[in-house]
């Protein structure tokens, strides 16, 4: 038997869905664009609305280029359009399929070596159900220090779990640091980072004790469980939830535009179900948003630090996203971001930009951090955009995980320490 036949068989045994359900991205191309000025940006914004098959993967302020992913049948039209409007473009990836495929194979192969429900964060990316099994295994190992709570279900009925970590001293009502991950499905470093934080606080407790002396940590590694699972089984670059919309052609809502504080502004979110920043028909019409909202409200009055883990871009983003105004205590939040940025630059030379989402990135309306500040009155509310890696920024190789999470932990740790110092219990 040839070795390729053998590996095919092995793959079939590991993951029967692989061949039949996943979007293989055969002959999908990735172009890099260099828009010049607002006119070009407005055109791109227009096309991203009119051309559902052209996937513009979000442009950040200060970025001089952006990427667009397109199926083969759209290539001629895209190139013709860009040429007609004199938008500088070049092909970055001729065929996305083998790249996505080799990452999936690498990950599946690595996982064959791991004894579930234990997980080695640095050795692979894990699915939602693997992460849940791991969370469920923790109370046995740390009976006094952890609690797993289920706050609800995703649209496709996946259990949405939250881990509470304490130092086990039995004191209740300590202030809380709440961290969520995987609001956006394709940002795979986010759940890995949440898991790494959990392991730092549990397995590496000796070095992190002071972070749990007067504070409890609450961690929800996967908010968008259905979307995340879908990126494992089918479409690697999916962002939104998986609930159908009122447009039969388009599925999913952006949880980070679905939160009920200043929801629904056209600047920063979209009413079009085919867009990646679709806000839903009403605030909190997604079960996953309801669950995260309920977690936040559960800790109302104790929520001193809300941190949402995303990728990518190296940013600490503070409220507000919906307006160019600054919130009260903006400077205090900036001091916390400053502590994180300094710690990272000292340890790895990694550079983070920080400030209000509206200015540093782009306007967003209905995002989780604005809600955490505006409604839940969190003392500090922040979105952290971890560094880009892989072909598209969202898709690090397994070999990148260690560098990304250890660097990010330096920042998260420093920010937590600064919050604890500034706001003693
Ligand atoms: O656009 C977003 O939702 C976030 N960027 S991403 O590339 N991860 O999609 C930024 C949102 C920042 N807003 C706040 N949560 N404050
Ligand atoms: Zn995100």
Average pLDDT over residues 35-43: 89
Write down the pTM of the prediction. 0.93
Q: Is the CB of 184 under 6 A from ligand 1?
A: yes
Q: Is the CB of 317 under 6 A from ligand 1?
A: yes
State which of 56, 178, 184 you would mutate to test the pocket of ligand 1, scoring each by most atoms of that ligand within 8 A of its C-beta.
Answer: 184
CA torsion angle 291 49 230 396 (round to 10): -100
252 Cβ partners below 8 Å, 6+ apart?
Answer: 227, 238, 239, 240, 241, 242, 243, 245, 273, 278
Dump pLDDT digits (tens) for 184-196: 999 999 999 999 9
- How far, in Å, CA of 420 to CA of 211, rounded? 8
* pLDDT confidence tier of residue 45, bands split at 50, 70 and 90: confident
From the CA of 317, give the closest atom in ligand 1.
16
Q: Is the CB of 369 under 6 A from ligand 1?
A: yes
Closest ligand to Cα 360: 1
State which of 265, 385, 388, 394 you would mutate to test the pocket of ligand 1, scoring each by most atoms of that ligand within 8 A of its C-beta.
Answer: 385
Instruction: Compute, in angstroms, the gap from residue 162 CA to the centroid of ligand 2.
Output: 19
Catalytically active residues are: 385
Dump pLDDT digits (tens) for 390-420: 999 999 999 999 999 999 999 999 999 999 9
Which domains does the chain possess?
29-95 (3.30.70.340), 116-422 (3.40.630.10)
Q: Is the CB of 231 under 6 A from ligand 1?
A: no
State which of 254, 256, 371, 374 you would mutate to test the pocket of ligand 1, scoring each by most atoms of that ligand within 8 A of its C-beta.
Answer: 256
Q: Is the CB of 308 under 6 A from ligand 1?
A: yes
Q: Is the CB of 314 under 6 A from ligand 1?
A: no
* pLDDT confidence tier of residue 15, bands split at 50, 70 and 90: very low
Dump pLDDT digits (tens) for 142-176: 999 999 999 999 999 999 999 999 999 999 999 99
Instruction: Compute, in angstroms, the gap from residue 255 CA to the centroid of ligand 2.
Output: 9
């Amino acid at each position: 038997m040839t070795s390729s036949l053998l590996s095919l068989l092995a793959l079939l045994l590991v993951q029967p869905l692989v061949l039949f359900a996943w979007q293989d991205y055969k002959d999908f191309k990735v172009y890099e664009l260099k828009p010049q000025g607002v006119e070009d940006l407005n055109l791109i914004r227009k096309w991203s609305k009119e051309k559902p098959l052209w996937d513009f993967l979000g442009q950040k302020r200060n970025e001089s280029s952006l990427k667009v992913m397109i199926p083969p049948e759209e290539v001629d039209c895209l190139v013709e359009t860009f040429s007609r409007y004199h938008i500088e473009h070049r092909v970055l990836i001729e065929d996305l399929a083998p790249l996505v495929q080799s990452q999936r194979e690498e990950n599946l192969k690595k996982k064959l070596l791991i004894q579930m429900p234990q997980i080695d964060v640095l050795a692979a990316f894990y699915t939602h159900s693997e992460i849940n099994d791991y969370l469920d295994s923790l109370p046995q190992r740390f009976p006094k220090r952890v609690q797993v709570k289920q706050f609800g279900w995703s649209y496709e009925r996946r259990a949405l779990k939250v881990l509470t970590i304490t130092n086990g001293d039995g004191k209740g009502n300590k202030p809380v640091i709440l961290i969520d991950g995987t609001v956006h499905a394709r940002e795979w470093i986010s759940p890995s980072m949440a898991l790494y934080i959990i392991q730092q606080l549990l397995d590496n407790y000796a070095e992190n004790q002071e972070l749990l002396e007067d504070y409890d940590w609450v961690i929800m590694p996967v908010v968008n469980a259905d979307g995340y699972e879908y990126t494992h089984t089918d479409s690697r670059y999916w962002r939104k939830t998986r609930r159908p919309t009122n447009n039969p052609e388009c599925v999913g809502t952006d949880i980070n535009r679905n939160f009920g504080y200043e929801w629904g502004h056209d600047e920063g979110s979209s009413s079009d179900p085919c867009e990646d920043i679709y806000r839903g028909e009403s605030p909190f019409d997604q079960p996953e948003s309801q669950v995260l909202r309920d977690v936040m409200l559960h800790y109302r009055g104790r929520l001193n630090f809300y941190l949402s883990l995303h990728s990518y871009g190296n940013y600490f983003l503070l409220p507000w996203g919906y307006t160019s105004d600054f919130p009260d205590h903006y400077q205090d939040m900036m001091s916390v971001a400053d502590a994180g940025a300094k710690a990272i630059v000292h340890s790895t030379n990694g550079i983070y930009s920080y400030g209000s989402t509206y200015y540093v990135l782009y306007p967003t309306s209905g995002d989780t951090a604005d809600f955490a500040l505006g409604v839940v009155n969190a003392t500090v509310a922040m979105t952290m955009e971890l560094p880009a890696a892989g072909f598209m920024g969202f898709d690090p190789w397994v070999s990148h995980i260690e560098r990304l999470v250890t660097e990010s932990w330096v920042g998260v740790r420093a920010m937590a320490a600064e919050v604890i110092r500034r706001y003693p219990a």
